[in-house]
Chain A
């Protein structure tokens, strides 16, 4: 008896246990009240949040994202400035929106955050901890919704902060070739946050369906980078329309503002639709599949 310290510690719990008596019998009532006393979607979100920040890889990924953003913005800004001042006149870009540099750098920076979003689900399949997660939160839609909520909640502010960093790095390097208006800068920086949040949620769904880190990363690269590039450069016009409907292209039109084939809001809608669709598919697959 003496060495069962834990059970002594459990004494107070056993106390209330006796009071709530036959749990199986009044299960229905308990079930309805269940969400209010803890657990539920808020619990699932809290658990995912705790899980995300307790992994070193999360901190590394964010650190890397900021590093890549700083570097990319510096490169883009200096090349813009040198293009405008070199002897070749065909590559001149003139005076550019400073925050537009951050938007441009997002094309590359996104992959670091995408890797983080993918690992949130494929990392669990790789380590077998998906079974633990589903033991805590057995409802598949709730589990995935919690991951999506945490992904968005991390990526949106991270994206905004990245946008600010990119803009701050680009401003002095662009010098007289940069144009900085508060309104446009805020819009651009917010757009980067929204774009990264939606793209990462989209890719989370892809990771859920594919389960493998390598598979999901490859898919992300093909779908967000390679395929749109091939389609846009093809001579067939219809393929260009297809490219415009892909998530990354839609996202770019959204971030670029007016001047695209459709208004930025439509780009946002298309990207959001991809995110919702991939989450829906992920949920369906999760429900059907054994963990």
Chain B
């Protein structure tokens, strides 16, 4: 369990993290999302006692990180895969790490095996590729068999096989009842991995909810209707006292063509109305339906909507290439 209470960090007069209060519960994968510069890494550094909060506190099982007698046996974290001395071998790095916290040194070979680095354990970490570095970082996080795990963009640089492996690893760590807190920019990956989401923007909390809820709250959730009488249904829906939006996605297809037009389905996408209500309306006005299906927003869409106004370092409009 990680508890943040009014956690705040300012660098000069720039607030990197503002008054963040939340609990990250065990037994779940909690995804930590937010645009570049939102304050994710800063928050994680404060949880590990690396950066000192300007105000508030970050607790692990009720205690600050620095008060943990053998921190690596309680919190495993991968913040920056490059934060390993390049001149040291993977095995030496993990051995020193194990000794620092009184962890049996045989764990080193176990975690090297887990992350698939056994064959290169004696090589200097500086010669590792980005993905190998990430694996070494994950090995370090697992070394002390901790109850709390924290990963800052762990799949960054991993091959598809590695991404899948990390996803399964996170899921199984959470299934064992551990607290798993992981930041990422890969929404599709988070949708598959996370149970709970914490979204921040410009250092402020934007959402702390189950993934399903975050997606359900999106206005991009829609209902898709195929009917031979789309015009009639669209008109009726427009009369509803709801802020719904109807889009014809088959523009022009129904025009002309006499009787056969009746059989050709028109397609409507309706947002802002529950599927049950739409079904009832169709029934009331006797419009036949070929299809009535929910179109769930992706996490990416829900995320974009949430963070739309909090993107700090957004790209400008793409420049026209080759004048």
Taking Cβ atoms with an 8 Å cutoff, the residues of A that contact B are 3-7, 9-10, 13-14, 17, 23-24, 27, 30-31, 33-35, 37-40, 43-44, 46-48, 50-51, 54-57, 123-124, 127-132, 134-139, 288, 290-291
| A127 and B103 within 8 A (CB) | no
For this complex, 7 residue pairs linking A to B, each with C-beta atoms less than 8 Å apart, are A6-B113, A46-B99, A51-B92, A54-B96, A131-B80, A132-B83, A136-B71
Residues of B within 8 A of A3 (CB): 165, 168
Q: Between A and B, how many residue pairs show CB distances below 8 Å?
A: 149
CA distance A241 to B133 in the complex (A): 53
CA distance A24 to B52 in the complex (A): 23
| Residue from A27, A50, A128 in contact with B96 in the complex, judged by beta carbons closer than 8 Å | A50
Check A5/B114 contact, CB under 8 A, given A39-B102, A127-B85, A290-B51.
Answer: yes
| Residue from B66, B88, B101, B169 in contact with A55 in the complex, judged by beta carbons closer than 8 Å | B88
| Residue from A27, A31, A127, A137 in contact with B83 in the complex, judged by beta carbons closer than 8 Å | A127
How many positions in chain B have a CB within 8 Å of any CB in the partner chain? 55
Check: B37 CB closer than 8 A to any chain A CB: no
| Residue from B61, B86, B103 in contact with A24 in the complex, judged by beta carbons closer than 8 Å | B61
| Residue from B1, B49, B70 in contact with A134 in the complex, judged by beta carbons closer than 8 Å | B49
Q: Give the most central of B69, B93, B111: most A CB within 10 Å.
A: B69
Check: B115 CB closer than 8 A to any chain A CB: yes
| B101 and A38 within 8 A (CB) | yes
The 0/1 profile, CB within 8 Å of A marked 1, for residues 44-85 of chain B is: 010011111000000001110111111110100101101111
Check: B100 CB closer than 8 A to any chain A CB: yes
In the A-B complex, the 8 residue pairs with the smallest Cβ-Cβ separation, listed nearest first, are A38-B102, A34-B69, A6-B114, A24-B61, A54-B92, A47-B100, A50-B96, A46-B99
CB proximity of A12 to chain B, nearest CB, Å: 10
Check: B218 CB closer than 8 A to any chain A CB: no
| A136 and B100 within 8 A (CB) | yes
Q: Give the most central of B45, B74, B88: most A CB within 10 Å.
A: B88
Check A4/B97 contact, CB under 8 A, given A40-B69, A128-B82, A135-B48.
Answer: no
| A131 and B88 within 8 A (CB) | no
CA distance A212 to B136 in the complex (A): 26
CA distance A13 to B67 in the complex (A): 23
Check A10/B110 contact, CB under 8 A, given A51-B85, A129-B83, A135-B50.
Answer: yes
Residues of B within 8 A of A9 (CB): 110, 113-114
| Residue from B102, B111, B140 in contact with A43 in the complex, judged by beta carbons closer than 8 Å | B102
In the complex, what residue of chain B is closest to A37 when comparing beta carbons? B102
The 0/1 profile, CB within 8 Å of A marked 1, for residues 83-124 of chain B is: 111111100110111011111000000110111000000000
Given A6-B111, A127-B82, A127-B85, 5 other A-B contacts at CB below 8 A? A5-B113, A6-B113, A7-B169, A40-B69, A134-B50
CA distance A135 to B50 in the complex (A): 7
| A46 and B61 within 8 A (CB) | no
| B72 and A131 within 8 A (CB) | no
CA distance A131 to B83 in the complex (A): 7
In the complex, what residue of chain B is closest to A48 when comparing beta carbons? B96
CA distance A10 to B61 in the complex (A): 22
CB proximity of A7 to chain B, nearest CB, Å: 6
Q: Give the most central of B67, B77, B89: most A CB within 10 Å.
A: B67
Check A131/B101 contact, CB under 8 A, given A31-B67, A39-B70.
Answer: no
Check: B176 CB closer than 8 A to any chain A CB: yes
CB proximity of B78 to chain A, nearest CB, Å: 10
The 0/1 profile, CB within 8 Å of A marked 1, for residues 147-187 of chain B is: 10000000000000000010011001100100000000000
CB proximity of B56 to chain A, nearest CB, Å: 15
CA distance A291 to B84 in the complex (A): 14
| A17 and B145 within 8 A (CB) | yes
Residues of B within 8 A of A30 (CB): 69
| A6 and B110 within 8 A (CB) | yes
Check: B142 CB closer than 8 A to any chain A CB: yes
Residues of B within 8 A of A137 (CB): 100
| B70 and A38 within 8 A (CB) | yes
Residues of B within 8 A of A291 (CB): 45, 50-51
CA distance A55 to B126 in the complex (A): 12
Residues of B within 8 A of A129 (CB): 83-85
| A23 and B147 within 8 A (CB) | yes
| B49 and A27 within 8 A (CB) | no
| B110 and A51 within 8 A (CB) | no
| B77 and A135 within 8 A (CB) | yes
In the complex, what residue of chain B is closest to A124 when comparing beta carbons? B85
| Residue from A55, A57, A124, A290 in contact with B52 in the complex, judged by beta carbons closer than 8 Å | A290
CA distance A9 to B109 in the complex (A): 10
CB proximity of B106 to chain A, nearest CB, Å: 10
CB proximity of B42 to chain A, nearest CB, Å: 9
CA distance A258 to B30 in the complex (A): 69
| A47 and B97 within 8 A (CB) | yes
CA distance A22 to B75 in the complex (A): 15
| B70 and A138 within 8 A (CB) | no
Chain B residues 9-45 with CB under 8 Å of chain A are: 45
Q: Give the most central of B1, B82, B86, B173: most A CB within 10 Å.
A: B86
| B70 and A34 within 8 A (CB) | yes
CA distance A31 to B67 in the complex (A): 8
Residues of A within 8 A of B101 (CB): 38-39, 43, 136
| B49 and A123 within 8 A (CB) | no
Q: Give the most central of B101, B113, B142: most A CB within 10 Å.
A: B101
Residues of A within 8 A of B51 (CB): 290-291
Q: Give the most central of B72, B85, B147: most A CB within 10 Å.
A: B85
